[in-house]
């Protein structure tokens, strides 16, 4: 029996993984696809932002996969046939969408033959039933350079990929920004000379090409990749011996969720996001969510922000489920969530005097919390 191909879809925060995944899943050729979505925090939101067809099966996991000791990926893969069978579904491939902060090395090590040892029957079953067929990394041309400069995970995501996709290239319209894209391409090629680089906005680009069966071989990706995989064996052995996990992203990387049960006014929400983005700057690694707007309660707004960039709001025609609360997930570098929660509450209550008073009280605190300049780089493995 041939093994089911598994593809890893990675890329730093805000690169557009969910957008690309949505496009792939709309293709009739991908009707029999199982999807595993990993989210950094403890609240699953991406599942609501990805559309699944009736013949597709999805599993959402929370808590960063690359920080989890144990065969977390294998456990999830072993659950998929049971989940699919219970719904009368079978699948021909699996796509794993990692969190934007994921270090791909431990994830790939669990999927490679001869990688992380199989400790139980479940691991052996997964090894016989699934095989790693490719790694696709997305790079946002707007924030890609900054991610590579400040977060080593972004570099490793590129190094482990056999396909690289540049996203938001439609924003490069003038000669200067086009030159910046060419510079970014050269940097990506220097990190990983073996990977093919695609323009995600080119008329000739076909998402399906990224998930065609092929042979994935880390030995063709360079000595750094081989060394990182070997290091994972050591880290895994030490973690297993200590019976504890590790935080690969450093104590500064935090995720928190803001919720509101009642609808919010569009202008009040816009002001909150503008103040948050301006204050946090590059320390606002990612913000995403569904917003229940008073003026159009039947149609939720999808919010995306990456560092200084707040992207245009997308309107869904209906709520994905019965949960109609405003839900925002923030991933930040060194931001204390408490003052942000206070600002969220007073801004959405639309009380200008309280907002001014709170901002005044927090002015010194915001300076200490958000700091200045670029965020500290993540720890390097």
Domain count, the chain: 2
Looking at the fold, whether 174 and 268 belong to one and the same domain comes out as: no
Whether 377 is in a domain gets the answer no
Looking at the fold, whether 219 and 300 belong to one and the same domain comes out as: no
Q: What is residue 185's predicted lDDT score, i.e. its pLDDT? A: 95
100 CB-near residues (< 8 Å, 6+ apart): 11, 12, 13, 14, 15, 17, 40, 285, 286, 331
Looking at the fold, whether 24 and 116 belong to one and the same domain comes out as: yes
Beta bridge partners of 328: 258, 289
Q: What is residue 139's predicted lDDT score, i.e. its pLDDT? A: 97
Mean pLDDT of 327-341: 84
Q: Supply the CATH number for residue 182's domain.
A: 3.40.50.300
Instruction: Render pLDDT for 74-126 as a digit per residue (tens, 0 to 9).
Output: 888 888 877 776 666 778 899 999 888 888 888 888 888 765 555 566 677 78
Instruction: Render pLDDT for 257-316 as a digit per residue (tens, 0 to 9).
Output: 899 999 999 998 988 888 888 777 777 888 888 999 999 999 999 888 887 788 888 898
Looking at the fold, whether 173 and 286 belong to one and the same domain comes out as: no
Is pLDDT at 29 greater than 50 in this prediction? Answer: yes
71 CB-near residues (< 8 Å, 6+ apart): 110, 116, 119, 120, 122, 123, 126
Looking at the fold, whether 95 and 39 belong to one and the same domain comes out as: yes
| Distance set, CA 139 to CA 14, 147, 165 (Å) | 9, 9, 6
Looking at the fold, whether 148 and 284 belong to one and the same domain comes out as: no
**pTM (2 decimals)?**
0.72
Among 242, 275, 290, where does a domain finish?
242
Whether 376 is in a domain gets the answer no
Whether 191 is in a domain gets the answer yes
Looking at the fold, whether 132 and 93 belong to one and the same domain comes out as: yes
Whether 220 is in a domain gets the answer yes
| Distance set, CA 378 to CA 252, 257, 283 (Å) | 9, 22, 12
Q: What is residue 40's predicted lDDT score, i.e. its pLDDT? A: 58
Top pLDDT among 27 and 378 is at 27
What share of the chain has pLDDT > 70, as a percent?
74
Q: Dihedral of CA 71/73/77/83: which sign? A: positive
Is pLDDT at 359 greater than 70 in this prediction? Answer: no
Q: Supply the CATH number for residue 282's domain.
A: 3.30.1220.10
Is pLDDT at 355 greater than 70 in this prediction? Answer: no
Beta bridge partners of 288: 304, 329
Top pLDDT among 352 and 207 is at 207
What pLDDT band is residue 364 in, cutting at 50, 70 and 90? very low
Q: What is residue 162's predicted lDDT score, i.e. its pLDDT? A: 95
- Within a 10 A sphere around the Cβ of 371, how many other Cβ atoms? 17
Looking at the fold, whether 115 and 143 belong to one and the same domain comes out as: yes
Instruction: Render pLDDT for 138-192 as a digit per residue (tens, 0 to 9).
Output: 999 998 998 998 888 999 999 999 999 999 999 888 888 888 899 999 999 999 9
Among 219, 242, 265, where does a domain finish?
242
Domain that holds residue 289: 253-370
106 CB-near residues (< 8 Å, 6+ apart): 65, 66, 116, 232, 235, 236
Looking at the fold, whether 200 and 258 belong to one and the same domain comes out as: no
Mean pLDDT of 361-381: 46
- Within a 10 A sphere around the Cβ of 79, how many other Cβ atoms? 14
Q: What is residue 369's predicted lDDT score, i.e. its pLDDT? A: 45
Whether 380 is in a domain gets the answer no
Whether 378 is in a domain gets the answer no
Whether 381 is in a domain gets the answer no
């Amino acid at each position: 029996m041939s093994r089911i191909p598994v593809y890893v879809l990675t890329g730093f925060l805000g690169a557009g993984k969910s957008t690309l995944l949505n496009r792939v899943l709309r293709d009739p050729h991908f009707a029999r696809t199982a999807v595993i979505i990993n989210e950094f925090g403890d609240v699953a939101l991406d599942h609501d932002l990805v559309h699944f067809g009736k013949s597709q099966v999805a599993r959402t996991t929370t808590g960063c996969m690359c920080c989890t000791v144990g065969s977390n990926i294998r456990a999830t893969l072993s659950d998929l046939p049971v989940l699919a069978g219970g719904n009368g579904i079978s699948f021909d491939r699996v796509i794993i969408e990692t969190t934007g902060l994921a270090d791909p090395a431990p994830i790939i090590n669990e999927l490679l033959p001869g990688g992380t040892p199989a400790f139980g029957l479940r691991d052996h079953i997964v090894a016989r039933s699934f095989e790693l067929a490719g790694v696709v990394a997305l790079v946002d041309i707007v924030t890609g350079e900054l991610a590579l400069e400040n977060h080593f995970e972004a570099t490793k995501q590129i190094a482990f990929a056999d396909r690289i996709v540049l996203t938001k290239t439609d924003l490069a319209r003038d000669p200067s920004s086009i030159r910046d894209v060419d510079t970014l391409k050269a940097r990506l090629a220097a990190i990983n000379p073996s990977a093919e680089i695609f323009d995600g906005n080119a008329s000739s680009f076909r998402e399906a090409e990224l998930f065609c069966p092929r042979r994935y071989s880390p030995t063709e990706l360079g000595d750094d990749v081989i060394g990182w995989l070997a290091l994972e064996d050591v880290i895994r052995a030490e973690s297993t011996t200590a019976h504890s996990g590790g935080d690969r992203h450093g104590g500064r990387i935090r995720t928190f969720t803001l919720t509101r049960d009642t609808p919010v006014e569009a202008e009040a929400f816009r002001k909150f996001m503008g103040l948050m983005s301006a204050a946090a700057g590059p320390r606002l690694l990612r913000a995403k969510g569904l917003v229940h707007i008073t003026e159009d309660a039947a149609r939720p707004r999808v919010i995306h922000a990456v560092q200084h960039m707040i992207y245009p709001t997308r309107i869904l025609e209906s709520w994905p489920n019965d949960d109609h609360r405003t839900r925002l997930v923030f991933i930040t570098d060194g931001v204390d969530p408490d003052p942000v929660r206070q600002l969220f509450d007073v801004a959405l209550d639309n009380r200008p005097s309280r907002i001014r008073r709170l901002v005044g009280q927090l002015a010194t605190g915001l300076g200490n919390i958000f700091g200045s300049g670029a965020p500290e780089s993540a720890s390097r493995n």
